[in-house]
Amino acid sequence: MTVLQHVIHDFCIQHEYDDVQGHRILRLKPTPSQWQDFPAVLAYARSLGVQDDGCFKVSIPDGLHDALPEKPVKKVPANAYKVKQIRKTTFWQVSTVPSDGEFSWSQAGPDFSDSVDSAFKSLKRLFRNNQDRQMRNVRYRVDVPAWTARQRLEAGVPERSPIYPLKGDKLDHTKAVIPGIHTPYVYESGPHFGATFQIHAEDFRLASLNHLYRGRKIWIVVPATAVDTAEKALGRGKGCSQFMRHRAEFFFPDKLDKLGIPYRLVDQRPGETIVILPDAYHEGFSTGYTIAEAKNYADGSWDTDSYQPCQESCRLATAIPAAFMRPLAQGEERLDLCAAYGDDGHMVPLDLCAAYGNDGHVVPLECLKKRPLLDGPLACGEGMLGMGDDAGVDGGEMREANQGGTKAPTEERDVKRIKA
């Protein structure tokens, strides 16, 4: 009997399937003790075929749902959005604009109770009504540190995290501890419909966990089993593994259908955690106020052999150096980049936080702020849609994209990556 067969035989988790417009998504309902053994939870989900979906849901057990703390309503830094359509009925490029907003679960506004199909129609209408200009009210607060008790209180989430720490995480043994990768970040959207996160795969072939406390999020997930099909249709070429982050694009289901890219629709509700499997592309949006936390996870089989990190040609100061993700050598001192943040969640002076890359040079603190979703023209050999004989969009669309320019003005570039 294999290890996996032993897991299945000895570790049975109550489960059911959610149906979203014909898309069946596994939802596990573990007991508190089962949730403490995340490697077994992951193995059990895989035994049920989730590789073909790229994701699964977990209803966090009763007893692990702590109440959200009260937090005063005040203006804080947040992202606003500008959208541009690259030719009619094709794909949307979404850039983020530094702004501010007010966020509070006690002033969340009405819930969006319509169908997932209606949600996509509402989002497309929002995009069309705001082409080439900043959306007036949509705000998304991203990358809020949440690994200490005080940080979590300031961020507005319970002191105890349902997704951190987790048993069996190989990230516990890498050279560096990176905020938002090794530790949780909080993500909070304002009360207005339409805060998006654009299509991307996780850094360094990691899995991710995204726990939703309040609100509703709609996801599109492209399973890793279709990654070759997706990357060919999206025009990766010889680009780095994060080529879609550079392009900052959002694809509606009808466009993915046209491109022949398989996907799953997921409707996330409060108390549910979405587990995104390695190499699965994903994107989505909030239907109103949401507050969630997310972190990455590396299971026992994790490696980065097929991962192509960003190169210098990517012109991306915030790229995570590959040297930070290598296994920690015996007796080697670990580099804790979380020390760049104080207990209040604010960054401390730069001279206290210098770190050294693989070449011995100081790595700028910008690498802690993650990766922008829009960072200029084509990078490291990647191709736009329409490039190549078998691409899903014609060359005219590609020319329009290039003529329109994918390089956003400096003030419009998000200095932080957007995850879920």
Give residue 244's pLDDT: 60
Q: What is the CATH number of the domain that holds 146?
A: 2.60.120.650
Provide the edge-to-edge strand list for the sheet that holds 185-189: 15-20, 23-28, 55-59, 272-276, 207-214, 290-297, 185-189, 140-145, 75-86, 91-102, 249-250
Q: Give the CA distances from residue 57 to residues 27, 60, 94, 212, 329, in Å, rounded to whole numbers and listed in that order.
A: 4, 9, 27, 11, 35
Q: Could you give the 3-state DSSP secondary structure of residue 219?
A: strand
Domain total for the chain? Answer: 1
Assigned domain for 300 exists: yes
Tell me: pLDDT of 402 over 50: no
Contact in structure between 177 and 183 (CB atoms under 8 Å): yes
pLDDT digits (tens, 9 = 90+) for 153-206: 999 999 999 999 999 999 999 999 999 999 999 999 999 999 999 988 888 989
Average pLDDT over residues 230-234: 80
Q: Measure CA 357 to chain center.
A: 25
Side-chain half-sphere exposure of 99, counting CA atoms within 13 A: 20
Residue, of 127 and 315, whose pLDDT is higher: 127
DSSP for 123-147?
HHHHHHHTBTSB-SS--EEEEEE-S
Task: Residue 336: count other Cβ atoms within 10 Å of its Cβ.
Answer: 15
Give residue 383's pLDDT: 40
Tell me: pLDDT of 331 over 80: yes
What confidence category does residue 19 fall into, taking pLDDT thresholds of 50, 70 and 90?
very high
Give residue 387's pLDDT: 38
Assigned domain for 284 exists: yes
Least confident of 39-43, 225-229, 277-281: 225-229
Assigned domain for 126 exists: yes
pTM over 0.95: no
For Cα atoms 312, 318, 323, give the angle at the middle one, nearest 5 degrees. 70
* Domain, as residue range, for 320: 3-71+73-412
Tell me: pLDDT of 125 over 90: yes
Assigned domain for 244 exists: yes
Give the span between the Cα atoms of 87 and 306, in whole angstroms: 33
Assigned domain for 417 exists: no
Task: Residue 210: count other Cβ atoms within 10 Å of its Cβ.
Answer: 24
Assigned domain for 38 exists: yes
Mean residue pLDDT of the chain comes to: 83
Give residue 369's pLDDT: 56
What confidence category does residue 406 fall into, taking pLDDT thresholds of 50, 70 and 90?
very low
For Cα atoms 341, 347, 351, give the angle at the middle one, nearest 5 degrees. 100
| Phi, psi angle pair for 308, to nearest 5° | -110, 100
Assigned domain for 10 exists: yes
Q: What percent of the chain has pLDDT over 70?
A: 76
Assigned domain for 419 exists: no
Contact in structure between 119 and 194 (CB atoms under 8 Å): no
Give residue 371's pLDDT: 42
What confidence category does residue 390 fall into, taking pLDDT thresholds of 50, 70 and 90?
very low
Provide the edge-to-edge strand list for the sheet that holds 281-286: 196-200, 281-286, 217-222, 264-268
Tell me: pLDDT of 403 over 80: no
Tell me: pLDDT of 270 over 50: yes
pLDDT digits (tens, 9 = 90+) for 41-78: 999 999 999 999 999 999 999 999 999 999 888 899 99
